[in-house]
Amino acid sequence: MRNIKLTIEYDGRRYLGWQRLGDSEKTIQGKIESTLKQMTGEVIEITGSGRTDAGTHARGQVANFKTTTDMTREQMLSFLNRYLPNDIVITKIEEMPERFHARYNVKGKKYSYNIWNSEVPTALHRHTSFHVKQPLDLDKMQAACERLIGEHDFIGFSSLKKSKKSTIRTLQEISIVQHGNLLECQFIGEGFLYNMVRIMMGTIIEIGLGKLPVEVIDEIFEKKIRQQAGETVPAHALFLDEVYY
């Protein structure tokens, strides 16, 4: 069996997310699987690097699947991009060793989150940014990012109720880049818990607005209570940029 790795870009707006049981036609994974069936005649299950929420976009989601097809990579790329809906694009196809697994082998991920910070809304970025009307204090936000970086128990920054598995994760980098009214916040880490980027972002925003002190971050690490953190900001401004192996 060949083991094929896909790199995938998608506009998540129309979908229930990467994966969701029961309604696969409205998920990215379901769309790709049905196009692969069309292509190969085989029933193929693909393994994603992880889920993305309903509405979340990707610049570089990764998945793999096993197949016996003898199509070339070029033929597969061209077939898939022709028959997938135009809000899902396969950007790269690679042939991998048999043991490659898109979820188990993940070494890290990069996410980004767009904030539109202006009193007036935006027409052109309305589907890909979260509108924050009040002025944000970038220095306070940077200070919040610094406290988040490193190895911590992030359970207070997740929607998990309890977890039997470890909720300790290491964040390598958080950076905020300003392009006019648009703030692009990037998060690079070895792993992320459920809703972790959106809750960290919500907390950084409330610190930037002066609603929460920057010290709240250490308190959330210490007391492990989700309620102290900021709100879970909307999914439509979140992008999975890259998966590292």
Is residue 68 a contact residue for its own copies (CB under 8 A)? Answer: no
User: Which is catalytic among the residues 53, 153, 218, 241?
Assistant: 53
Length of the chain: 245
Is residue 238 a contact residue for its own copies (CB under 8 A)? Answer: no
111 is in an annotated binding site: yes
Is residue 122 a contact residue for its own copies (CB under 8 A)? Answer: yes
**Residue 23 annotated as catalytic:** no
CB of residue 93 to its own copies, shortest distance in Å: 10
Q: Contact, 147 vs 203, CB < 8 A? A: no
Is residue 43 a contact residue for its own copies (CB under 8 A)? Answer: no
Cα separation, 118 vs 135, in Å, equals 7
Is residue 59 a contact residue for its own copies (CB under 8 A)? Answer: yes
Is residue 121 a contact residue for its own copies (CB under 8 A)? Answer: yes
Q: Please say whether the dihedral angle defined by the alpha carbons of residues 127, 55, 48 and 177, taken in this order, is positive or negative.
A: positive
Q: Please say whether the dihedral angle defined by the alpha carbons of residues 149, 113, 107 and 154, taken in this order, is positive or negative.
A: positive
Region from 30-38, 98-106, 120-128, 225-233 binding its own copies, contact rule CB under 8 A: 120-128
Instruction: Determine the straight-line distance between the first and last CA of the chain, rounded to whole angstroms.
Output: 21
Q: How many CA atoms lie within 13 A of 55 on its CB side?
A: 14
Region from 18-26, 121-129, 171-179, 195-203 binding its own copies, contact rule CB under 8 A: 121-129
Amino acid at 45: E
Region from 85-93, 95-103, 141-149, 219-227 binding its own copies, contact rule CB under 8 A: 85-93
Closest by Cα among 46, 47, 67, 50 to 58: 50
Binding residues for its own copies, rule: CB under 8 A, are 9-11, 57, 59, 77, 81, 86-91, 120-124, 126, 128
